[in-house]
Amino acid sequence: MFFKVLSDTDHVENFDCGNKDLNIFLIKNALNYQKSFVSKTYLLHNQNTIYGFYSISATLIEQQQTDIRWPKHPLPAVLLGRLAVDLKYQKQHLGSLLFAHACKNTVEVANTIGCVALITEAKNQNAFNFYSKFGMKPFKNKQDTLYLKIKNIIKVLNP
């Protein structure tokens, strides 16, 4: 099982995570987003089997939504826009593997140009519960947006 960046030659057309919007994103939009530098999509795959994917991009967050005290202006972050595992392979810790890979990429961004957190929008209660397992905390005034500070990611990745 390997990670790779999505490319023209990947057969993503049969991917089904049970969420229509996420399926359509991977099958129809992800490559165009990537070619336009809007987001980058990573696949967890083995030859022609696509186990799961996630997409990340750059974003800005409001400092006062978090427990970050300084500086008091919008702060750079990485947005985990989408993450999904094919129905056939759910509950086998592949979602966790995808999340850990997104964390590693976030640390790369932090070390290269600076960013303070990984954030995501939980589209439903299941997603909220899933992300909470990794220590993600809700924004103060926007409970479905969750963040994990870079300092905590680094601590987890380098115990």
Ligand X SMILES: CC(C)(COP(=O)(O)OP(=O)(O)OC[C@H]1O[C@@H](n2cnc3c(N)ncnc32)[C@H](O)[C@@H]1OP(=O)(O)O)[C@@H](O)C(=O)NCCC(=O)NCCS
**Contacting positions for ligand X (CB under 6 A):** 17-19, 22, 82-85, 90-96, 123, 126-127, 129-130, 133
Distance CA 6, CA 21 (A): 18
Residue 96 or 111: the one with the smaller Cβ distance to ligand X is 96
Distance CA 62, CA 14 (A): 38
Residue 111 or 132: the one with the smaller Cβ distance to ligand X is 132
Nearest distance in Å: CB 135, ligand X? 12
Displacement of CA 149 from its chain's centroid (Å): 14
Burial class from Cβ neighbours inside 10 Å (0-12, 13-18, 19+) for residue 77 reads buried
Q: Is the dihedral of CA 100, 101, 107, 113 positive or negative?
A: negative
Angle at 118 between CA 48 and CA 138, to 5 degrees: 115
Residue 12 or 68: the one with the smaller Cβ distance to ligand X is 12
Nearest distance in Å: CB 150, ligand X? 21
Nearest distance in Å: CB 91, ligand X? 4
Nearest distance in Å: CB 27, ligand X? 14
Residue 14 or 129: the one with the smaller Cβ distance to ligand X is 129
- The residue number whose beta carbon is nearest to ligand X equals 95
Residue 74 or 135: the one with the smaller Cβ distance to ligand X is 135
Nearest distance in Å: CB 82, ligand X? 5
| Number of helices (H), then strands (E), in the chain | 5, 7
